[in-house]
Structure 1
Amino acid sequence: MKMRFFALATLWCGISMFAQDYFPKNDGVKADNNNYTALTNAKIYITPTNVLDKATLLILNGKVVQAGKSVTLPKNTVSIDLDGKFIYPSFIDIYSDFGIEKPKSSSSGRRTAQYEPSREGFYWNDHIMPENNAIGVFKYDDKQAEELRKVGFGTVNTHIQDGIARGTGALIALNGKGSDADRILDDKSAQYFSLTKSVAQQQSYPSSLMGSLALLRQMYYDADWYAKGNVETKDRSLESLIANKNLVQIFEAGDKGNVLRADKIGDTFNIPYVILAGGNEFENISDIKATNASLIVPINFPKAYDVSNPFQAEFVSLKDMRFWNQAPSNPKALEDNKITFSLTLHDLKTPAEFKGKLATAIEYGLSKTKALEALTTVPAAILGKSAEIGTLQSGSQANFLITSGDIFDKGTVLYENWVQGQQHIINDKELKDIRGDYELSAGGNTYNLSISGEPAKPKSEIKEGDEKRSSNLSYDNNWMALTFHSKVGDEIYRMTGKVDPASDKLSGKLLLPNGTESTFTATKTSAFSEKEKEDKQDKKPLIQPVAYPNVGYGYANKPKQESILFKNATVWTSEDSGILESTDVLIKNGKISKIGKNLTTGGATVIDATGKHLTAGIIDEHTHIALLSVNEGGQNSSAEVKMEDVIDPEHIGIYRNLAGGVTSAQLLHGSANPIGGRSAIIKLKWGASAADMIYDNSPKFIKFALGENVKQSNWNSFSRFPQSRMGVEQMFINYFQRAKEYDLKKKSGQAYRVDEEMETLAEILNGERFISCHSYVQSEINMLMKVAEKFDFRINTFTHILEGYKVADKMKAHGVGASTFSDWWAYKYEVNHAIPYNAAIMQQQGITVALNSDDAEMSRRLNQEAAKTIKYGGMTELEAWKMVTINPAKLLHIDQKVGSIKEGKDADVVLWSHNPLSVYSKAEKTLIDGAVYFDLEKDKQQRKAIRVEKAQLINLMLKEKDKGSATQEPKKSNKEEFHCDSL
């Protein structure tokens, strides 16, 4: 009777709660119900750190009135005794698409290039859609809400997960008994961004990660210009962006590197983004901590790989094996480093996975207090809703969970999830937990019965002696039904009975295989919790230490500067002093300190280099290793994009290049368009962050391109200008004229719209940025030099330049350098006239000539490429060597720092086993800034360590499979090796 009265009271409370007080009362006689509800004798988590035993929670009209140990109950109070049970605030997910239809592609079949926007009155780029509002398309789905409530969630922050600027989200209470008027807590709760293009829009730009970053920067510049009243035409997108700038700004990064990229944009425009992380932040935790950003962290930890087939196991990289092993430690790493974070269901296939994933994170060291904070108080604080949700303090919404015990314990049952004071039953809290071990007496025989699983969905196991019997158990409303075979595939026993909540015995009717009625009894011999405690005596998870970078060949510790004295080396200076025999070189404080004979150590480590050769580190003027994207081909000019934005510090090409003696490189944009992106000039510091690889006060470069690629000869694309070589020339003239006008306006002191593309081109006109131009045929080489001279600047470098030998005199007069291949020819039509004597002929004309790779494989054997010029052109050994050391340094304007062995220069040097121009020579040690980044002997040790570690991880994954855990198929995850024309 009491429960029926309570249900009726709750119904009346709901009627009063879910109707506005000014609604007319035309349907019969109505009265508001103002009964209080008190949940007594529970352990209540008012907040994660304010916990009361034997306390009372008093609620009224969907709000918490009071929570405490001494709560005075009004006369009109309905009480529910929760003796022995726990109450927690319901969970909050602030990164959801609940109630939002998945975006659908507007294209049918293969996408065609679309270079112009499709919408009028909005921003010029279709992927910028801040005018979208989730509330406009939101449809409450109680089936989906039920799945979320079952795992403890009471509130979600939902949005349209499509586009780069995605519009606003809505904060929704998962109240299945109210209306949207009650459930919608905030119809503009946050503004959302990402680095991913819309699937519903087809505009080609951006086509790369660096393009997305550039577009976001330009969007903010344009919004500032628009906000100051400088634009007459209405732009609904920018107006929305500006109107919502004071909301919480949430950015989907989805990867540790993108967290840093997003934060950098935020710092540029003074926007404190809340960032959706990727789950791999532990690999770069110091840089993540330095952002001071609040994170939203997924816990979609990967499954173990099925490595039972040794051949298939070879497909799985050590990096992927490590990530499986280490990923569950990510929340603990964030906690240990005092990084503010909330947890999200994002990327889980179903909400039902959440409890197990969270349990794994706790097993890996995440504290229960921090876990609860990450699901309640932290997300509430991020949204500025701490007074309304996330706690059970007075005045907050009555969103709470009733559980059988500690909510993070495996055996705990979630009974109810109350949202806005509305009861949602998950499991019957009156249901007795029958799990445990029993002695079963049935049909004159005795069996061992073990009941495990979830309290509401128990599983049975029956043994007769040591023999297991097939069985099936169902349990509902305190009635149990059990069947089992007396022998495998033979006689079936059927039994059913009402469970007595006060007894540890199970008993009831038994139907024997012959149809005779009898009775059964099952006496509990041990409780389920006791057995589980024994099971948990397993060792803590074996977690592999994080390496720098966290891939195969990563180092246990980041390399540090050392004082090293190389004794009796053959020193290739790449200076006028030439090659010095039996010479000492002292490395100290990251610099080349002294060069001479019989130098004293000064406490330095001595390396006997007798019979070995010491050179400056090789410099690759043109490469595409260590990049996440190489071309932004969505427009004919991409001067706004930065290769520095997309450096991949984990790319194995860095390590391989170090093994080939390369210490510096220019990472160039590809040749998808005439005006490419801004270059990155880096030192190959394996284990360092992308930011730490970039040269201090790095010279400014940009990639231009000529020829077949930029006019799209082989793309079957006919919608983007230019389509011809003469069109390429006119494009350059047009863009430089516009840049000239832009620069004049900027210098005049007039108000101007910041345009990153024009800013970059103006730097070229002002001699502040240098052009490295992809080129082949002589006509185009002449053309670009003439265009440059028309605008009073000079091309810095022609790269590839395979017909340079035809116009070497003109190049000399212009003052341009050359970076070419040693012996590439005839690999496409415009290379038909290439000859291997090209480098020597240009060098003989007084041009500074370097050899580049444009290829990950060639990049690590540039020493051998240099040797080819001795055969093709009769170069001396020293002049040949200069083509991969001091000459590229000069072309890149870093020759005051690197490129030769000279006192005072950076200690970027390589110790070779033989003459460095020999195919038999190996780089034994490669130093950058005086730190050893590659050591041949250490490499041998690493190869062995990799085999041992992979074997350990394979054994751990095999154990996972043996335990019955779900696994995933082995897969190969090789990174693409980029070239100029990679799209």
Structure 2
Amino acid sequence: MKMKFLLLTMLWCGVSLFAQDYFPKNDGVKSKNNNYTAFTHAKIYVTPTQVLDNATLLIQNGKVAQVGKSVTIPKNSVTLDLEGKSIYPSFIDIYSDFGVDKPKRASGGGRSAQYEPSREGFYWNDHIMPENNAISVFKYDDKKAKELRDAGFGVVNSHIQDGIARGAGVLVTLNASGTDGERVLDAKSAQHFSFTKSIAKRQSYPTSLMGATALLRQFYSDADWYAKGNSTTKDRSIEALLANKGLLQIFEAKDKNNVLRADKIGDANNVQYAILAGGNEYENIADIKATNAKLIVPINFPEAYDVSNPYNEDLVTLQDMRKWNQAPSNPKVLAENGITFSLTLFDLKSPSKFKGNLLKAIEYGLPKTKALEALTTVPASILGKSSTIGTLQSGSYANFLITSGDIFEKETTLYENWVQGTKNVINDKNIKDIRGDYDLSVGGLTYNLSITGEPSKPKIDIKQDTIKLKGKLAYKDDWLDFSFTDSEDKPYRMTGLVLKKSDNLSGKLVMPNGSESTFKAIKTSAFQKKEKEEKKKEAPEVLPITFPNVGYGYTSKPKSQNTLFKNATVWTGEDAGVLENTDVLVKNGEIVKIGSNLNGGNAIVVDATGKHLTAGIIDEHSHIAALAINEAGHNSSAEVKMTDVVDPEHMGIYRDLAGGVTTIQLLHGSANPIGGRSAILKLKWGESADNMIYPNSPKFIKFALGENVKQSNWQSFSRFPQTRMGVEQVFTNYFQMAKEYDAKKKSGKSYRYDEEMETLAEILNGERFISCHSYVQSEINMMMKVAEKFGFKVNTFTHILEGYKVADIMAEHGVGGSTFSDWWAYKYEVNDAIPYNAAIMHSQGVTVAINSDDAEMSRRLNQEAGKTVKYGGLSETEAWKTVTLNPAKLLHIDDKVGSIKEGKVADLVLWTDHPLSVYAKAEKTMIEGTIYFDLQKDRQQREAIKKERTILVNMMLKEKNGGGKTQGPRQSKKETFHCDSL
């Protein structure tokens, strides 16, 4: 009766605490219950660093009234003795979609998707939706709330996880017995962003990461312009963005490099995002720390791969194997580097997986205090709610967990999760502890019975003399069911009610022959919990990361060294031609001396006798090392930048280095007439994307002609242009708009900054160069005429397979040609291509380069250059210039690279043989005095990779054999991009 009264009292407290004060009182003589509930004799984690033993927590009206070791308990209190138990603040998840339906994918779409927005009065792009408010669609779901409460969570920050600008989130408690009016702590808790467009909208732009990045840049710029009162119309999206400016700003990145991209957007707009991380930040921790961003970190660690089949093992990349091994250390690495982070359930299949992964992170070195901070005080601080959630200090909401002990131990039981003063039972904390040793009497025989495990999940060990018998035990709601088979494999089944006042067990027995009787178990000794060994458990072995953290990454980043190449055959690329038995001295990343019998001082000496030293190969047209190639959503994407999507971990970089390539122009694809801006990269393997971008890069942009831009190769009829006539009109229209834009800008009048028009105006002003994808002579002529009409010159026609037909006109215009050596007939518009193209253009005075446009060809451009000797009779030195000095000239970097000359940057390759020979191998590839590829080291790395794979395979086999969960082997390869990749 007393227990029933207590439960009713607590239920009344939970239901009535939060009724609004202004509600009319129509409930007769009932009055508000202001009773206290006191939890005494508990170990209380007031904060992660303030822990009180044998303390009292006093709550009233859903909040903490007092906490301490000498709390005076008021008379109107319900007192609960929690001796031997612990109290923690409930957890907080900043990144959730709780209570918000997942968006439904729009019908249609694909390559026939709409190109225009579907709304009026909002921003022109449907994927920008800051006007959305999660509170408007929020619907409390107690089934899901229970899953979260069972995992220890009391508060979640939820939002509509759809779109690039996603609108405002809502902060809610998981209070089962309250109303939304009581649960909602903040109806506008944060403003959310991502790089991913809405799946519920059909507008095609953006189609890429670089497009999403450019869209956000322009959106922020437009909002600034709008805020200054320049618009004559209303834009509800921009107004929502401005209204939410004072909120916490959260950005979904989901990858270490996207964290850096998001932070750059924030820095450019004076916004410090809290960023949803990817769990791989340990690979690039220095750059991550430099952002000063607070991270929201998922702990969705990958399962081991089932590599028991040797054939299937080969499917799993070393990078994926490493991720399985290294990812659980991510929280530890973040903590060690002083990075503020909270933990989230995001991307876990079920909240029930959370504790296991959290304990794994702790096993891998995450301090328990940091773990608790990441679940309580840190998310509360990020949300700006430290005074009300995340701690058990006076005035905070009564959101707390009651556990059997250390919450970060596997054996610990979570009993209750109180939310806003409402109790939610996870496991019965009043269950009687039946653990101990017993003498079990069954059918006239006595057995030794030992009950161990946890109070709520006990286990049995049963013996007859020294023989261990098989047995099962179930214990729930004070009822005990267990069975065992004796030494003759005869089954005994027992059921009994556990009495609170007795240490002994008894009940009904069913004998092997089916007859019924009784059993009795007399307790002989209490359960003794084994003390943990003082010796600290060894942390799992985590293999070291490399730079980059993929196969063939280096254990440390390569460094510049002064180097003296002795007795080489030096291909200068200058008037000096090819020099025999010549020395080249490199100091501080530059070529300082070329001659004979040079003294290098303390420089490393490389014996180059019988070998050939050349400038590094330059690929004018490449698509390696990118996360995207085309922004195909519009017919002009001049606003996008390839520098936004550089992938420094792409294996194409290493393979290009092995082929003697030191510099590439990373070009946008050919999905639209006006493509995106280029990235000129030094292939510095192991460096970040930013450190690969050529310093003070000349400005380039990709244009395109032909079949791709008019969408001849796929069924798309909704985007202009559809014909070659339309392509010309696109150029004319956009340059006319850019001309008018530039004139207004130069006039000093107020104007709206337009990144697309800014880029095109740079072309008109001679500040940006065009590299134009081209094939047939008619379009080549057209492009030169359009350029001349607007007063500029095309810099380079790339592909240019009919260049031989118009080489004289090209020379007159002043445009270079970057072509293939011998590609033809692979599609209709190259039917007239010939392998003599390069030599004919060269004979007419056109600067000619041989490019790859292909990841495989890029690493053997030396051989492609050699073909120009066969097809057209170029001299060997002129042939070599087609992949060194000439592309350097086309890229306007020939003052620094492209030849071997004193004062130029030391981008060099030492070849084992004549560089135009199919037998030549790049022995050493140097960039700015740093060796980024070494043939001998490559052989050593191959052996190291084999050993590392063996270690990781054995680790995963051990994981599987130990009962750990595994996933099937899968092959994860990065896409190899081409001009038309979408």
Q: TM-score range by the shorter chain?
A: over 0.9
- 2:481 and 2:535 mapped to 1: Cα distance? 30
The answer on 1:543 being equivalent to 2:526 is no
Instruction: Indicate if the aligned counterparts of 1:439 and 1:525 stay in contact, CA closer than 8 A.
Output: no
Separation in 1 of the partners of 2:463 and 2:960? 24
Q: Is the 8 A contact 2:35 2:78 kept in 1?
A: yes
Residue in 2 aligned with 1:861?
Answer: 860
In 1, Cα distance between equivalents of 2:579 and 2:451: 82
Question: Are residue 408 (structure 1) and residue 411 (structure 2) matched?
Answer: no
RMSD: 2.0
Instruction: Please show how residues 175-186 of structure 1 align to structure 2 within 5 Å.
Output: 175-186=175-186
Partner of 2:521: 521
Q: Aligned partners of 1:867 and 1:10: how far apart in 2?
A: 87
Partner of 1:492: 491
SS in 2 for 1:530: coil
Partner of 2:609: 610
TM-score (norm 1): 0.97
Alignment map for 1:4-403 (pairs within 5 Å): 4-107=4-107, 112-403=112-403
Structure 1 window deviating more from structure 2 (447-456 vs 727-736): it is 447-456
SS in 2 for 1:201: coil
The equivalent residue for 2:900 is 901
| CA shift for structure 1 position 842 | 0.8
Q: Alpha-carbon deviations, 1:216-271, whole Å to 9, x = none?
A: 11111111122222222222111111111110010000011110000000001111
- Output the amino acid matched with 1:253: A
Residues 1:759 and 2:721 aligned together: no
Aligned match of 1:689: 688
Query: Partners of 2:721 and 2:450 in 1: how far apart?
Result: 75
**Contact 2:620-2:665 at 8 Å conserved across structures:** yes
Structure 1 residue 678, shift from structure 2 partner: 0.4
Distance 1:528 1:872 in 2: 88
Which residue identity is paired with 2:3?
M
Q: 2:314 & 2:526 partners in 1: Cα distance?
A: 45
Say if 2:220 and 2:269, in contact at 8 Å, map to a contact too: yes
Q: Is the 8 A contact 1:925 1:934 kept in 2?
A: yes
Aligned to 1:716: 715
2:564 paired residue number: 565
Q: Which amino acid aligns with 2:798?
A: T
CA apart distance, 1:446: 6.3
Q: Distance in 1 between matches of 2:195 and 2:607?
A: 51
Distance 1:852 1:440, change over 3 A: farther
Distance 1:714 1:462, change over 3 A: farther
Structure 1 unaligned spans of 5+: none
Q: How many pairs are equivalent? A: 981
SS in structure 2 at match of 1:80: strand
| CA positional deviation for 1:464 | 6.5
Q: Which deviates further from its counterpart, 231-240 or 298-307? A: 231-240
1:703-743 Cα shifts (integer Å, max 9, x gaps)? 00000000111111111000111110011000000001111
Q: What residue identity is the alignment partner of 2:338? A: K
1:707 aligns to 2:706 (yes or no):
yes
Which residue of structure 1 lines up, in the alignment, with residue 879 of structure 2? 880
Offset of 1:393 from its aligned partner? Answer: 0.8
Report the more deviating stretch, 704-713 or 431-440.
Answer: 431-440
Question: 1:901-920 alignment to 2 at 5 Å?
Answer: 901-920=900-919
- Aligned match of 2:421: 421
Q: Matches of 2:730 and 2:803 in 1, distance apart?
A: 23
Letter of the 2:547 counterpart: Y
Q: Which residue is equivalent to 1:735?
A: 734
CA distance in 2, matches of 1:535, 1:462: 30
Return closer, same or farther for 1:926/1:443 CA change in 2, 3 Å cut-off: farther
CA, structure 1 residues 566+399, in 2 after alignment: closer, same or farther (shift >3 Å)?
same
- The one-letter amino acid paired with 2:594 is I
- The offset of 1:467, in angstroms, is 7.7
In structure 2, runs of 5+ residues without a counterpart are: none
Alignment of 1:636-655 (within 5 A): 636-655=635-654
Displacement after TM superposition at 1:457 (Å): 3.8
What fraction of aligned residue pairs are identical, expressed as a percent? Answer: 73
Superposed displacement of residue 493, structure 1: 0.8
**How far apart, CA to CA, are the structure 2 residues paired with 1:522 and 1:409?**
31
Q: Secondary structure at the match of 2:216?
A: helix
> What is the alpha-carbon distance in structure 2 between the residues aligned to residue 517 and residue 767 of structure 1?
101
Question: Which AA in structure 2 matches 1:63?
Answer: K
What per-residue deviation string (whole Å, max 9, x for no partner) do you get for residues 73-128 of structure 1? 22212211111111111100010000111110120586732111111121111111
Task: Tell me the distance in 2 between the aligned counterparts of 1:230 and 1:463.
Answer: 86
SS of 2:530 mapped into structure 1: helix
Q: Quick one: structure 1 residues 742 and 446, their matched pair in 2 at CA, closer, same or farther if it must change by over 3 Å?
A: farther
Change (3 A) 1:206 1:108: closer
Aligned partner of 1:796: which letter?
N
Which string of whole-angstrom CA distances, capped at 9 and with x for unpartnered residues, describes residues 532-554 of structure 1?
x4799864211110111100111
Contact residue 566 and residue 581 of structure 2 kept, 8 A: yes
Given that 1:111 and 1:202 are in contact with CA atoms closer than 8 Å, whether structure 2 keeps it comes out as no
**Structure-2 separation of matches of 1:273 and 1:605:** 46
User: What amino acid maps onto 2:668 in structure 1?
Assistant: H
Q: Is the 8 A contact 2:438 2:521 kept in 1?
A: no
3-state DSSP class of the match of 1:287? helix
2:207 and 2:730 map into 1 onto residues whose CA distance is: 21
Cα deviation digits, residues 16-73 of structure 1 (max 9, x gap): 3232222222233211111111111111111101111111111110111111111122
SS of the residue corresponding to residue 112 of structure 2 reads coil
Q: CA deviation at 1:12?
A: 3.1
Query: What is the alpha-carbon distance in structure 2 between the residues aligned to residue 438 and residue 950 of structure 1?
Result: 50
In 2, distance between residues paired with 1:468 and 1:117?
A: 73
Per-residue CA deviation, residues 866-907 of structure 1 (Å, 9 max, x unaligned), is 000000011111111111011111111111111111112111
Q: Distance in 2 between matches of 1:447 and 1:320?
A: 51
Distance 2:804 2:785 in 1: 18
Q: Say whether the 8 Å CA contact 1:841–1:873 is kept in structure 2.
A: yes
Is the counterpart of residue 456 in structure 1 residue 456 in structure 2?
A: yes
Contact residue 471 and residue 482 of structure 2 kept, 8 A = yes
Match in the other structure for 2:772 = 773
Contact kept? 1:504, 1:524, Cα under 8 Å: no
Letter of the aligned partner of 2:165 in structure 1? Answer: A
Q: Contact 1:911/1:923 (CA < 8 Å) preserved in 2?
A: yes
Structure-1 residue corresponding to 2:824: 825
Number of the residue aligned with 1:3: 3
AA at the equivalent of 1:223: A
Instruction: Single out whichever of 84-93 and 433-442 deviates more from structure 2.
Output: 433-442
Residues 899-935 of structure 1 deviation map (CA, whole Å, 9 limit, x = unaligned): 1111121111111101111111111111111111111
Q: Distance in 2 between matches of 1:346 and 1:586?
A: 54
Aligned partner of 1:727: which letter?
G
Q: 1:57 to 1:632 in 2, by over 3 A?
A: same
Partners of 2:331 and 2:361 within 8 A in 1: yes
CA gap 1:894/1:521 in 2 versus in 1, 3 angstroms: same
**Contact 2:452-2:527 at 8 Å conserved across structures:** no
CA contact under 8 A between 2:682 and 2:927: conserved in structure 1?
yes
Deviates most, 353-362 or 565-574:
565-574
Mark the CA change 1:482 to 1:24 in structure 2 (over 3 Å): closer, same or farther.
same
Matched letter for residue 650 of structure 2? H
Distance 2:381 2:906 in 1: 49
Task: Tell me by how many angstroms 1:487 deviates.
Answer: 6.2
Query: Cα 1:220–1:787, aligned 2, differ >3 Å: closer, same or farther?
Result: same
Alignment of 1:624 onto 2:597: no
Kept in 2: contact 1:437–1:528 (CA 8 A): no
How far did 1:447 drift?
6.0
Spell out, residue by residue over 1:180-236, the C-alpha distance to the aligned partner (whole angstroms, 9 max, x if none).
111001110001011111111011110011111111111111111222222222221
Letter in 2 for 1:399: N
